Amino acid sequence: MFTVLAAAGGCDEAEPSADAIPVPSGREVRLIEVVTNVPGPDGATARFRFLAPGLTEADIPASADDMQALCDTYALARIDGMVPEPQQIIISLAGEDVPFGEAAPDVVQFFEAFEVTDGTCILAAF
Q: What is the pLDDT of residue 103?
A: 87
Q: Would you tell me how many other CB atoms lie within 10 Å of the CB of residue 10?
A: 9
Q: What is the pLDDT of residue 126?
A: 59
Tell me the per-residue pLDDT of 17-39, one tens digit each, with 9 for 90 and over. 578 999 999 999 999 999 998 87
The answer to whether the CB of 110 falls within 8 A of the CB of 67 is: yes
For the entire predicted model, the pTM comes to 0.83
Q: Give domain limits for the chain.
A: 30-123
Q: What is the pLDDT of residue 94?
A: 96
What's the CA gap between 86 and 92, in Å, rounded?
16
The answer to whether the CB of 75 falls within 8 A of the CB of 92 is: no
The answer to whether the CB of 47 falls within 8 A of the CB of 92 is: yes
Q: What is the pLDDT of residue 119?
A: 86
Question: Low-confidence residues of the chain, pLDDT below 70?
Answer: 1-17, 126
